Structure 1
Amino acid sequence: MVSLDRFDTFKAVVEAGSLTAAADLLGQTRAVVSFTIKRLEAELGVTLLTRNTRQLALTEAGERFYVRCLSMLEAAQLAIDEARGEHTGLKGTLRVTTTVEYALASVVPALEVFGALHPDLTVHLSTSSTHADLISERFDVALRLGRILDSSHRAVQLSTFEILPVASPGFVRTQPPIDSVRALEHTPWLAHGRVGELNVTERSTGAVRPYAPDPDKVRLKADHASVLRAFALSGQGVAILPDWLIDDDLRSGRLVHVLPQWQFTPQGVYALYPDTRHLPLKVRAFIDFMKNREAGSGRNVS
């Protein structure tokens, strides 16, 4: 009988695109991965991959086997997770990716509690300002903020939060009165590289209009909200930042909420996971835990 470990190696090679990349993901040498694939092909009696110096490609038999391989690995992992979970709790490794800001504000404190509930489960937390590829980088869950544009994964909304235009008191004093959306649009601002189009709603009337800041007024563009916060604190312009990131700054007066009578489009916190037939128990447990924790924090939950 062919070992499931060889199936997992084959899956890693296909998704990583090379023997070397798969070896890095699996924590093995390239020679071991290559030997495993050769043994698998010998046991099956078919060629699964064609190789040259530049790339790997699936044969027709390899494509068919890969589809079946995914289904078998998912079913096997689900059976293992459920059997272990019933008697000994969650085990193995849960790979999670999110932004560094959200990790520090919410995920790290949550994992302290989640880890105590599941001491035999190892969590690998990766932080980045860019969106990791869940499949090729073998992540179980991505916690993403904003709006979900990628329809190739399943998504669960954990909560919503507000984004607020903020600036330092010193910066506000140097500007003409910011007393309308139009005035805000023409104020020097600090742009986030991954925030798309936004609307603003007048809180008193419910009137909605698009927000179109003057591109000539951009003083800085960055992919990290924490970088924009630092520049806002130093008086460089208006930044639109998550409320959970700047609560302490607003309470202390280091930043002020500009134009508070208007509300920007609320943003969501989502848990994304690969679109698989069987959701692993460790993933389901983590998502449920995070959603319940967000609800308990007082944030809106859909």
Structure 2
Amino acid sequence: MVSLDRFETFKTVVEAGSLTAAAERLGQTRAVVSFTLKRLEAELGVTLLTRNTRRLALTEAGERFYGRCLGMLEQARLAIEEARSEHTQLRGTLRITTTVEYALAKVVPALELFRRTHPELKVHLSTSSTHADLISERFDVAIRLGQVSDSNHRATQLATFKIFAVASPGFVAGLPGGEPRTFAALQQVQSLVHRRLGDLGLTHVESGEQFFFRPAAEQSRIVADNSSVLRGFALAGQGVAILPDWLVREDLESGRLCRLLNDYRFAEQGIYALYPDTRHLPLKVRVFIDFMKDHA
């Protein structure tokens, strides 16, 4: 493939009228310009310029090629500017992935304001209970909750949130031993388990005693990969679920769900923005991450 640099040299020679003048414009020696021109002609297999001691003249093939050169160089310039604008201007498309429940609770309301602030930027939001592959699926940023274990990407913590053990009043009333008030008692109650939920730190408020709580999927009646689904089961009186405060706040305030283990605190969970580990972080990603730090 012929280098665009040779196209540029040929265009400059034609417009300057001589090799010497073209060399001055390009900041090169006359010999380098002459060599580049000869290489271009050899690669094309045609003579573009006739030379004598006084002036240069375009051949018929050279005139046609010069016209095409102008168009190709302009298209190349526009392509380069467009690619750079993805990194220096808030244009193009921002591709985001996160969970359904977090999108509805936090991302969608935030994007309304973000889009008004940056109207030239398009947003594609994908929601899934599974973790998308940012590279193969071409996402700019993923918002993930809990603990981040994917070391192939960079991560920025946006915020933290609390998690509660919750159940419906009807379910609690039907427990043989009544409401579980200790860590050991909670372990004996049928739980609604999130498939990706790992070990959870649990601390007694007064004594400071710490435990690790991990609902066992094999001992649970229901396992799901979506917090909204687990909330639905909890509201239906199917068991105890451990859910984010932002998801169940209204349920707790209305009494549809009640919080268990008030004398204990689960370790706060993180909200992270993950993005590909590239040398140049696009401006749209950087601005969106900074924006979400105030709205996560």
Matches within 5 A, 1:60-75: none
Kept in 1, the 8 Å contact 2:94–2:123? The answer is yes
* CA shift for structure 1 position 203: 1.4
Matching of residue 130 in structure 1 with residue 135 in structure 2: no
Kept in 2, the 8 Å contact 1:78–1:279? The answer is no
Note the alpha carbon deviations across 1:2-31, whole angstroms, 9 max, x for none: 79xxxxxxxxxxxxxxxxxxxxxxxxxxxx
* CA shift for structure 1 position 292: 2.2
Could you tell me which residue of structure 2 aligns to residue 246 of structure 1?
A: 248
Matching of residue 269 in structure 1 with residue 274 in structure 2: no
* CA shift for structure 1 position 216: 5.7
Query: For this pair of structures, how many residues does the alignment match?
Result: 219
Could you tell me which residue of structure 2 aligns to residue 209 of structure 1?
A: 211
Could you tell me which residue of structure 1 aligns to residue 227 of structure 2?
A: 225
Note the alpha carbon deviations across 1:117-160, whole angstroms, 9 max, x for none: 01111000000000000000000000000000001100000000
Change (3 A) 1:218 1:81: same
Matches within 5 A, 1:22-171: 79-81=84-86, 85=89, 90-171=90-171
Amino acid at match of 2:141: V
Change (3 A) 1:206 1:2: farther
Counterpart of 2:242 in 1: which secondary structure?
strand
* CA shift for structure 1 position 293: 2.4
Identity, % of aligned positions: 58
Kept in 2, the 8 Å contact 1:186–1:217? The answer is no
* CA shift for structure 1 position 76: 7.1
Change (3 A) 1:2 1:288: farther
Counterpart of 1:96 in 2: which secondary structure?
strand
Counterpart of 1:293 in 2: which secondary structure?
coil
Change (3 A) 1:290 1:215: closer
Could you tell me which residue of structure 1 aligns to residue 239 of structure 2?
A: 237
* Normalised TM-score (structure 2): 0.70
Change (3 A) 1:282 1:200: same
Counterpart of 1:165 in 2: which secondary structure?
strand
State the structure with more CA Rg. 2
RMSD: 2.0
Change (3 A) 1:250 1:135: same
Unmatched segments (≥5 aa) in structure 1: 4-42, 44-74, 295-302
Change (3 A) 1:207 1:113: same
* CA shift for structure 1 position 164: 0.5
* CA shift for structure 1 position 81: 3.6
Change (3 A) 1:106 1:2: farther
Unmatched segments (≥5 aa) in structure 2: 5-42, 44-79
Kept in 2, the 8 Å contact 1:78–1:281? The answer is no
Amino acid at match of 1:233: L
Kept in 1, the 8 Å contact 2:106–2:295? The answer is no
Could you tell me which residue of structure 1 aligns to residue 17 of structure 2?
A: none
* Normalised TM-score (structure 1): 0.69
